[in-house]
Structure 1
Amino acid sequence: MFLETIRLPGNSQLVWADAVCIDQQNLGERDQQVKLMGSIYSQAQMVLIWLGPNDHEDTERARALIDHMTTYRMRDQETPPTLQEARDYFTMIERPLWNAFAGILRRPWFERVWVIQEAANASKGLFIVGDQTFLLDEFYLAADTLLHYHLGGLLQFEGPIQGPESLVCMNHIKRHILTESEHELLGALILTRPFNATNPKDKLFGILGLIHDGSVPGLQVDNSMSVTQIYQNISLYFLFSVGSLRILSSVCTVPQNHPIQTPSWVPNWSFKGEGGSYTRNKHYYRATRNTKPEIWASSADNNLVLKGNFVDKVNRFSLFQNLTPPTLTAEDGNIDFAGPLILQKAQRINQYYVLALGNTDGLSEISSGAYDNFLRTLICNRTMEGIEPTPAFIARVQSFVQNTQSLLLLDDWTEWYRYL
């Protein structure tokens, strides 16, 4: 249907479609072509992305919403609105427009790992939805608008949607992916973990098109290997070829009934359970500076042995209080989508307090210098761009932490917005 849709009567055009041009059953050909896909997408005049048929009226509604966002962001550059002004504007837009756009963002395309290299490598991309087209950059702007003004809940009126997060991820990879091969591969693996792959091997092969020429020297993997062996070789590459322990930060607890099992020191990239990873940070830090780890791996029993220094031990930890989500309705206005998000952040900050201090009452006794260090520790002394934060940035972190702590003490959750 896609090829019929893009057909130009009376004209010819050259189209490369991976599903047609690569023999999907030939593992050797797939291994060879995977290394070329990055250059194919990056050199294409246009990358066409077929999202499937769609009701004409719904497509027009989605177009209207995106136009609203584009116009507002252009106006935003001239006279930046307050967060509340922006929310007031967007919550006045008719619900059918949001539902129509949400329907597009729920398409399976936004959840597949293979599509990331299409979008990230494309110099120019075009979504085709029914009889309507949208520039890929328009979708990037829409996703950024949802994030910038905290509007995601307006799309999630009928349940969670991965589309906006996927677009933000693709755009981040496109614009900010790190240049060192170690960081590129590990960063791409972490960023794309929430995406789906029919074949779990493709959690790696589906992103190789993002890495240089599609190959990583020293990484021994191919489609003839088992999933477990591929994942294990990824870890061995970082541990021994790169000499870095950072891969261990992506290890997570996997249920015993999960179909794919790996050694405890090997991240299971096929599993994306919430809260499973010991750290989901997308940036990279080296507390040991340039020292090389002393490490041994046993092929007989799949054990990993590390040499390190004993620092201290955690005697106990607990939550300060047990929070429950607020009950909110559409009549509550624009708070109908923010309560669960604020609750999640409040719980997370509260856990940080308890783990760091044992009791939140101790906050008032901390010196300003110690509190500054505490805040920098919370964010690993890095901004989302991976650079050291300025004092002004730390002040904003402090404001967020204090406001979030205030939310924990609110009896009436409808008052949350006063603290944002």
Structure 2
Amino acid sequence: MASQYPYRPLNLPHETRILTVFGGRYNDPLMASISHMSLSEPNDKPYDALSYCWSRGVNLTRTSPMDDVITTAVVGQDESGSEISMSDALPLAEMLDHPVYGQFHLELGGVLPPGPIMIDDTRVMVGGELHRALRTMRLQDGDLRIWVDAVCIDQQNTDERSKHVRVMSEIYAGAETVRVWLGEDSGSYVMPFLNTIYLMTDIVIDIGAPDEMDSLAGALHDVQGRFLRHPRSRELDWDMIAEFFNRSWWHRTWVMQEIAYARQAMLYAGRNAFGWDFFVPVIRVLKSFKLDSLMNGHWGWKAVSIMSNLRDEQQLALDDASYEPCDVLEVLEEMRGFQSTLPVDKIYGVLNLTDHKDKIVVDYNKPPEKVFTELAVSFLEAGTLEILSHCVTISDNKPSNLDLPSWVPDWTRPGYVEPFCIRQLEANACGTSHDEAIYRISPDQKVLHIKGRVLDRIAIIDTVRQIPPPGAARYDRGWKGKSEEFPANASASVQERNDMYKNLDETDTRRSVTSIANIALKPAAEVTVAEHQAQLESLARTFMCNRTRENELPSGEFAKGLELLIALCEDDGEESLRSLVREQVKHQVNCLNAMTLGEGLAYAERLEEGYWMVQGSFSKWCYNRRFFVTEKGRYGWGVEAVQPGDIVAVLYGGDYPFVLREDGIETGKYRIMGDGYLNGFMDGEGMAKEFADGHQEFTIV
């Protein structure tokens, strides 16, 4: 019978525990011992640290309870070619080593049953993933000293758990190797993955050795062309790449710091082991030159980039003591889609990587609502409203598990959109006259009273745009197509899914751009030419958030560029940009006699530049944004959940406007929907005297 291990108290933060796993073969019982290890003095005994997922190796849906009776039948041939026929009905826990069902269960995201470890004469039950990991990693003829959170921390002692968060970075940085357990090799995907990485590396070397890539940075299309034309590029097995990065480990919050601080990392998938530096360098090259379009939207693929960047940050910090750590809000926003069992670990799990490492007291006795609220209050007290830009309301009809006011970001929920401050859109909505926040917070920290101005009210929104876009689901396991154009197809390959969703995304963009144009622009017969041009320019500035991708004010033929974009979308992709430009130039040269042929060619170049200027800004600033028109005819962008009737306001001290909604329960109170863009009001224009009547104190709940 399993027992609670009798832990001795630790002298934290100066020491931790280490697990010594005694040698043995894979199927031998696990035998181990726990001892204390100093963190404040040099350690002459090297140790490793384990990084793994407590629950399951595959990132998928629920599985059957372990006591469910499973009926299975196998008909086929054995290795010698003889026919076999067998059937059985056993509890799931006893079926996991079945020659057929065991692997099938793992591939579908099954949870492994707990297993025993004899630690210093105490029989301790640990999770199935940990049990398999230790059986796989232990040495046959020697001892393995390894730090394992589930065993080396007294999980029943919340004070000890809280204090351990502070020293996690030291523990993982001090380990000789961080051993990453990805789970069992379900479905034999590991070797195809490794072979694909080998092939990717060969192709990258063939088209230009990695040390030559820097010199090719200005020749992006050239590198892409050489990659796609390589005779072996079609042999790349992107399905196995996607399968590999669908392991749960790539989707967890805690593993970010565990890999960021690792001196070296070794990954295990079943009994296959390979180093971090085996596959990450080639992936970084692929991403640098945008050769990984088939993996766009894959969370696991994204995780590699985040981890690599965090490892770079930690190395810079080691090399330069004055190097500033990562901004905590940037990290929290980046990690919003990643998972943690406890909501508080969305903050605690990345804390050591950020500039707030010493500003937040880790306390697992606090409810998550208090932890999240205290972080928000700390930013307001520092005189910045940046924290409010991370408040995003979504209309997915899934209630949050946390009871938070709308002015406190819920880091456990995706927002579909990055705040403008993260995308670094230049703006100063309050100008210089109202650049300080004027606020007070209720004693129970439930209500924010803050002063600002109402600028306008939303009258119309575009509902055609699909948010999140269709392509966001292309790597969901058990994917179901949402569109009538494509039936549900969970077995589609990466290439097939990419093609399907690329078509869906392009169709969605054409439809939404056409819808926005119909909403915003009056028919030509109802307005003068000058009025039409003014409308078009205002809409073009809105499509660009009045900034180029380089954050410069737009110039040149950007309004004509939008006109071309609308025309292409209305033609449903039948005409090309080049043909539309040619028609406009031909009209200017031949019909109006307004230009010489040489001037026409220069005009064509400016038109194309204008088109790409609008297209580039639109994709950067307006991704997953909802277009709206206000009661006074102004254009803008909000988050996905904005509705007619919502107000657009400037809160004093903020760089961006906010969309607020009157609370349906209590009159005179508002909820933050998210940050927004209102054309013509991003540089302090709303602080003019003519808008003074909109001044008020908002009660945000």
Separation of aligned partners in 1, 2:171 and 2:523: 55
Please state whether the residue corresponding to 1:257 is helix, strand or coil.
coil
* 1:260 counterpart (392, 402, 426): 402
* 2:368 counterpart (227, 231, 244): 227
Equivalent pair of 2:521/2:536 in contact (CA under 8 Å): no
Gap runs ≥5 in structure 1: none
The verdict on how the C-alpha distance between 1:21 and 1:304 changes in structure 2, with shifts beyond 3 A counting, is same
Deviation at 1:205, TM superposition (A): 1.1
* 1:66 counterpart (197, 201, 218): 197
The verdict on how the C-alpha distance between 1:66 and 1:197 changes in structure 2, with shifts beyond 3 A counting, is same
TM-score scaled by length of structure 2? 0.47
Equivalent pair of 1:152/1:337 in contact (CA under 8 Å): no
2:412 aligned with 1:270: yes
Separation of aligned partners in 1, 2:373 and 2:497: 50
Separation of aligned partners in 2, 1:333 and 1:354: 31
Q: Which residue of 2 aligns with 1:190?
A: 333
The verdict on how the C-alpha distance between 1:186 and 1:273 changes in structure 2, with shifts beyond 3 A counting, is closer
Higher mean C-alpha deviation, range 39-48 or range 108-117: 39-48
Separation of aligned partners in 2, 1:353 and 1:176: 44
Please state whether the residue corresponding to 1:308 is helix, strand or coil.
strand
Deviation at 1:22, TM superposition (A): 1.8
The verdict on how the C-alpha distance between 1:413 and 1:192 changes in structure 2, with shifts beyond 3 A counting, is farther
- The one-letter code of the counterpart of 2:348 is F
Q: Which residue of 2 aligns with 1:215?
A: 357
Q: Which residue of 2 aligns with 1:294?
A: 438
Deviation at 1:237, TM superposition (A): 1.0
Q: Which residue of 2 aligns with 1:408?
A: 569
Alignment of 1:337-376 (within 5 A): 338-343=502-507, 365=533
TM-score scaled by length of structure 1? 0.75
Gap runs ≥5 in structure 2: 1-131, 318-322, 471-482, 487-491, 580-611, 616-701
Separation of aligned partners in 2, 1:134 and 1:413: 49
The verdict on how the C-alpha distance between 1:347 and 1:141 changes in structure 2, with shifts beyond 3 A counting, is farther
The verdict on how the C-alpha distance between 1:333 and 1:248 changes in structure 2, with shifts beyond 3 A counting, is closer
Alignment of 1:126-145 (within 5 A): 126-137=266-277, 138-139=279-280, 141-142=282-283, 145=286
Q: Which residue of 1 aligns with 2:545?
A: 377
Deviation at 1:322, TM superposition (A): 6.4
Equivalent pair of 2:189/2:244 in contact (CA under 8 Å): no
2:303 aligned with 1:166: yes
Higher share of residues assigned helix = 1
Please state whether the residue corresponding to 1:198 is helix, strand or coil.
coil
Equivalent pair of 2:336/2:411 in contact (CA under 8 Å): yes
- The one-letter code of the counterpart of 2:345 is D
Deviation at 1:301, TM superposition (A): 7.2
Equivalent pair of 1:87/1:334 in contact (CA under 8 Å): no
Please state whether the residue corresponding to 1:317 is helix, strand or coil.
strand
Please state whether the residue corresponding to 1:15 is helix, strand or coil.
strand
Equivalent pair of 2:204/2:227 in contact (CA under 8 Å): no
Q: Summarize deviations over 1:104-128 as a string: whole Å, max 9, x none.
A: 1111111111111112232432222
Equivalent pair of 2:162/2:363 in contact (CA under 8 Å): yes
The verdict on how the C-alpha distance between 1:52 and 1:369 changes in structure 2, with shifts beyond 3 A counting, is same
2:247 aligned with 1:110: no
Q: Which residue of 2 aligns with 1:25?
A: 156
Alignment of 1:83-102 (within 5 A): 83=224, 86-87=227-228, 93-94=234-235, 97-102=237-242
Superposition CA RMSD, Å = 4.7
Q: Which residue of 2 aligns with 1:48?
A: 179
Q: Summarize deviations over 1:243-272 as a string: whole Å, max 9, x none.
A: 211111111226573322211111111222
Equivalent pair of 2:546/2:553 in contact (CA under 8 Å): no
- Give the greater-gyration-radius structure (CA): 2
- The one-letter code of the counterpart of 2:371 is I
- The one-letter code of the counterpart of 1:189 is L
The verdict on how the C-alpha distance between 1:55 and 1:315 changes in structure 2, with shifts beyond 3 A counting, is closer
Equivalent pair of 1:346/1:408 in contact (CA under 8 Å): yes
The verdict on how the C-alpha distance between 1:232 and 1:66 changes in structure 2, with shifts beyond 3 A counting, is same
Deviation at 1:340, TM superposition (A): 3.6
Q: Summarize deviations over 1:247-304 as a string: whole Å, max 9, x none.
A: 11111226573322211111111222546x7668354867258843111111247211
Separation of aligned partners in 2, 1:186 and 1:36: 21
Q: Which residue of 1 aligns with 2:606?
A: none
Separation of aligned partners in 1, 2:560 and 2:192: 38
Equivalent pair of 1:140/1:168 in contact (CA under 8 Å): no
Equivalent pair of 2:179/2:265 in contact (CA under 8 Å): yes
Q: Which residue of 2 aligns with 1:304?
A: 448
- The one-letter code of the counterpart of 1:411 is D
The verdict on how the C-alpha distance between 1:106 and 1:231 changes in structure 2, with shifts beyond 3 A counting, is same
Separation of aligned partners in 1, 2:425 and 2:342: 28
Higher share of residues assigned strand = 2
- The one-letter code of the counterpart of 1:165 is K
Q: State, as a whole percentage, how many aligned pairs show the same letter.
A: 21
Separation of aligned partners in 1, 2:574 and 2:275: 39
Higher mean C-alpha deviation, range 80-89 or range 288-297: 80-89
Deviation at 1:71, TM superposition (A): 2.8
Separation of aligned partners in 2, 1:368 and 1:294: 37
* 1:122 counterpart (262, 275, 287): 262
